[in-house]
Amino acid sequence: MAHDLLFPTSDDDLLISVYHKQGRTLDDLPYTDAFEAIYTVMYGGDNEPHAPTRAQVFHRLHNLRKAGKLPRLGRAHGERPRITPEQETLLVSDVEDAVGALSKRDQLIYTPAYEELCTRFNAEAGLDLSRHDIWRLIAKLAK
């Protein structure tokens, strides 16, 4: 396997290696310092002119997981926030308004639409959840 080599041989191998070192599941990764560490190691941060966007990096990781190339890293860190059934219904509605269907939720990561969804949901639900906490809730909605 390529990712067992001492020196990764492709961008995907390097991305997998850097992801593995963070020790977080993919669903627990967005909007965390761990994701920012991956992005910085891989692409040098926001000042690199040809670096992919954070959304592109997350989607690459997502595709690698679908292809069975990302290692399983266990459970998410910490507890997922709890919301009421009414708040969950509201969140489903907000996601569907943003991307058309709950099944398309991964398209929201690191987009202006996601920022708007977080602001809207917190205001409507009377909450003050972080972008990461809202993502953890969204990631579990259809599971």
Task: Enter the tokens of residue 54.
Answer: 């954070």
Residue 23 lies in a domain: yes
Residues 92 and 132 grouped into a single domain: yes
Q: Which residue has the higher pLDDT, 104 or 73?
A: 104
Q: Look at residue 90 and tell me whether its pLDDT is greater than 90.
A: yes
pLDDT of 58 reads 95
Domain that holds residue 26: 2-66
Residue 93 — very low, low, confident or very high, per pLDDT cuts 50/70/90?
A: very high
The DSSP-derived string for 30-89 is TTSHHHHHHHHHHH-STT-TTPPPHHHHHHHHHHHHHTT-SPP--SPSSPPP---HHHHH
Averaged pLDDT of the chain: 88
The owner of tokens 């602001």 is 119
Q: What's the average model confidence in pLDDT over 55-81?
A: 86
Listed residues 66, 96, 111: the one ending a domain: 66
User: What is the tally of structural domains in the chain?
Assistant: 2
CA gap 69, 73 in Å, rounded = 12
Residue 79 lies in a domain: no
Residues 14 and 52 grouped into a single domain: yes
CA gap 61, 97 in Å, rounded = 25
Residue 119 — very low, low, confident or very high, per pLDDT cuts 50/70/90?
A: very high
Residue 34 lies in a domain: yes
Q: Look at residue 73 and tell me whether its pLDDT is greater than 70.
A: yes
Q: What's the average model confidence in pLDDT over 133-138?
A: 94
Residue 77 lies in a domain: no
Residues 26 and 53 grouped into a single domain: yes
- For residue range 3-57, what is the model confidence (pLDDT) as tens digits? 455 555 678 999 999 999 998 889 899 999 999 999 999 988 777 778 899 999 9
- The DSSP 8-state label assigned to residue 23 in this structure reads T
CA gap 138, 53 in Å, rounded = 21
Residue 80 lies in a domain: no
User: How many percent of the chain have pLDDT more than 70?
Assistant: 90
CA gap 86, 73 in Å, rounded = 32
pLDDT of 84 reads 96
Instruction: Please give the angle made by the CA atoms of 118, 124 and 126, to the nearest 5 degrees.
Output: 95
Residues 93 and 133 grouped into a single domain: yes
pLDDT of 2 reads 44
- The DSSP 8-state label assigned to residue 102 in this structure reads G
